[in-house]
A and B are shown apart, each in its own frame.
Chain A
Amino acid sequence: MANVTLRNVRKTYPGGFEAIKGVNVDVADGQFCVLVGPSGCGKSTLLRMVAGLETVSGGEIDIGGRVVNQVEPADRDIAMVFQNYALYPHMSVFNNMAYGLRNRGMKEAEVKTRVDEAARVLELTPMLERKPRQLSGGQRQRVAMGRAIVRQPKVFLFDEPLSNLDAKLRIAMRVEIRKLQRRLSTTSIYVTHDQLEAMTLADILVVMNGGQVEQFGNPLAIYEKPATTFVASFIGAPPMNLMSMRADEIKSQIGNSGDAGILGIRPEDFVITDQTPAGGVALPLTVEAIERVGAETFIYGSRKQDEQRIAANPGELPPGEVIVRIPGSEAPPIGQKIRVAAVRAKLHLFSDDGRTRIEA
């Protein structure tokens, strides 16, 4: 059991490319920390630095009160689950799990006890003598997890462990990972690009972009109060609607909005109504497209008036387009003009460059 602290961690590649530009994260003992961000944001690099598979160019990585910058991966007391599982193809499931223990000179009886216990927890007992190629994707995934838990390490590291599984299995394994981590209460760091996985697994969520931490904290707190427009559009699906406030129509509706230049409203915070809530925002829309998913419906509407560009972010909508989420499957027909509104408490205000959240 240990906490993991990253102090101003940097990574610069020999070519001069700065992959990690000074990251500070503190994961308390037993917490489940999820690093999330678009591809190329440095989240995997950061995880591999914690594992000791990448050298650290600057700052300190502290595991359980010991700075491990120069410590070999095997001596950091961590275990890692890889995206492609990285099982030893020529070894049986049992040997795959036992390998790390034997390398540490553990007695064979103890090895057997631990592997059997892990196999029982992961329901791998009937497969212990099989080779990895005889297993399905989900089973391989569980073997990879088993290899990590038999070690009883201080920290689990997960590098997008579910991205090779199909959608259904991914959800099942996600729940299993969470349950397992709760029971073992081992500090964990988990990398994913899937914001849903991030939201559901994390005790603390670290949203990364361009080698920096955009925001970290409780996932719901991040969802409710995103610190930047990047976080706003990355966390939550479909993404938050971001609108320039230079259009006088919106600005005058909100009234006191400080220096805010960008307004964000989540699709689920809109209602179709003719009324305008006090201090809230109402938008006239033309319905462009409808997506029905059963329990809810997404309406894609256009505003036309406002064509001004907002800083480009992943998942961002084209200017002037707004997504509205309504429950059920009743929706206005395409082409119809509707009016949607959101109350004051559901508005998110950001500075012009999108880098600061404004509470007004």
Chain B
Amino acid sequence: MVEEEGFRRYVAHAILWIGIAIVAFPVYIAIVASTQDNALIANGQMSLLPGGHFFEVYYQTIFVGTSGSTREPVGNMMLNSLVMALLIAVGKIAISIISAYAIVYFRFPFRMPIFWIIFITLMLPVEVRIYPTYKIVADLHMLDSYAGLALPLIASATATLLFRQFFMTVPDELLEASRIDGAGPLRFFWDTLLPLSRTNMAALFVILFILGWNQYLWPLLITTRDDMQTIQVGIRKMITTTDALTEWPVVMATAVLAMLPPVFVVVAMQRLFVRGLVETEK
């Protein structure tokens, strides 16, 4: 770092502070708005300082929901989102680590074609294959269910590729040493490969959890019942009200609540996450 002097340094710091403010201000507004009285916000007289309705707004949001558009408590929406995000993250990791293990360590007919088929699915995200996927899920009677929410998003090429790349960097001698030590394929996978993949799994978990948590289009399509709604869909529904005033404090409180789990996951797994991205220890 070059040490900047006096004035130039203040300018640089000012620019950085402006950057931070631009990113942080909307979040601040959401937090402030969630503690105000709705009438004030609707009048356009919202204060930039926190109001006094924190507890009642959050109580209402979590346990009751809005009085108009959706009558679903946000607590339940969060539970739905959480279950979906966890299913997607855990399911994806489980499926892809197993398929990567098969592709890297076993010689079976059509190994490479199968690998390429998995690879090609990279080009087909949910949005592209949404019709056939919807049809399949509907035919399997999985609409309005956790399985229907999570399953189509679980099969994933990205995670398989990541584990494949990682497995290929694991020295062959480890496998050979395991064979001599009397560990079969399952033992090797369980005792050696899984522990070595720990940081990779953590990094993927963070990414996939947030990906799952932020799903909007797919849950919107396949959930019709209020009690299966996810929080991302719920927020949207709260804003568009036909004949009543939008309950902004509740909407904002919901937004704040929607931010919390991803933040929590990132903070909790930060150390493993960073190590997973830069890890070289083998």
Tell me if chain B binds chain A: yes
Question: How does the 8 Å CB contact mask read for B156-180 relative to A, with 1 for contact and 0 for none?
Answer: 0000000000000001011011011
Chain A window 68-93, contacts with chain B (Cβ cutoff 8 Å), 1 for yes, 0 for no: 00001110001110111111111000
| Contact for B281 among A80, A88, A89, A103, CB less than 8 A | A89
Determine the main DSSP class of B at the interface with A: helix
Interface residue total, chain B, C-beta cutoff 8 A? 18
Q: With contacts A99-B191, A133-B281 known, is A86 near B179, CB below 8 A?
A: no
Q: How distant is the Cα of A52 from the Cα of B177 in the complex, in angstroms?
A: 11
Query: Does A100 make an interface contact (CB < 8 A)?
Result: yes
Instruction: Specify which of B191, B195, B196 lies most central, judged by the most chain A CB atoms within 10 Å of its CB.
Output: B191
Closest CB of chain B to A253's CB: distance in Å? 54
Contact of A89 among B176, B180, B181, B196 (CB under 8 A): B196
A72 interface neighbour in B176, B179, B192, Cβ under 8 Å: B179
| Interface 0/1 of B265-282, CB less than 8 Å to A | 000000000000000011
Main secondary structure of the interface of A (DSSP, over half): loop
Determine the residue in chain B with the shortest Cβ distance to A76: B180
Q: B198 to chain A: which residues have CB within 8 Å?
A: 90
Closest CB in chain B relative to A162 CB, distance in Å: 16
Least CB distance from B177 to A in Å reads 4
28 A-B pairs whose Cβ atoms sit less than 8 Å apart in the complex: A52-B179, A53-B176, A53-B179, A72-B179, A74-B180, A74-B183, A79-B180, A80-B177, A80-B180, A82-B173, A82-B176, A82-B177, A83-B173, A84-B171, A86-B171, A86-B174, A87-B177, A88-B191, A88-B192, A90-B192, A90-B195, A90-B196, A99-B181, A99-B191, A100-B181, A103-B182, A103-B187, A147-B177
Beyond A82-B177, A90-B198, A100-B180, 20 additional pairs, beta carbon < 8 A: A52-B179, A53-B176, A73-B179, A74-B179, A74-B180, A74-B181, A74-B183, A78-B180, A79-B180, A80-B176, A80-B180, A82-B176, A84-B173, A86-B177, A88-B174, A88-B177, A88-B191, A88-B192, A103-B181, A133-B281
Residues of B within 8 A of A (CB): 171, 173-174, 176-177, 179-183, 187, 191-192, 195-196, 198, 281-282
- Residues on A lying within 8 angstroms of B by beta carbon are 51-53, 72-74, 78-80, 82-90, 99-100, 103-104, 133, 147
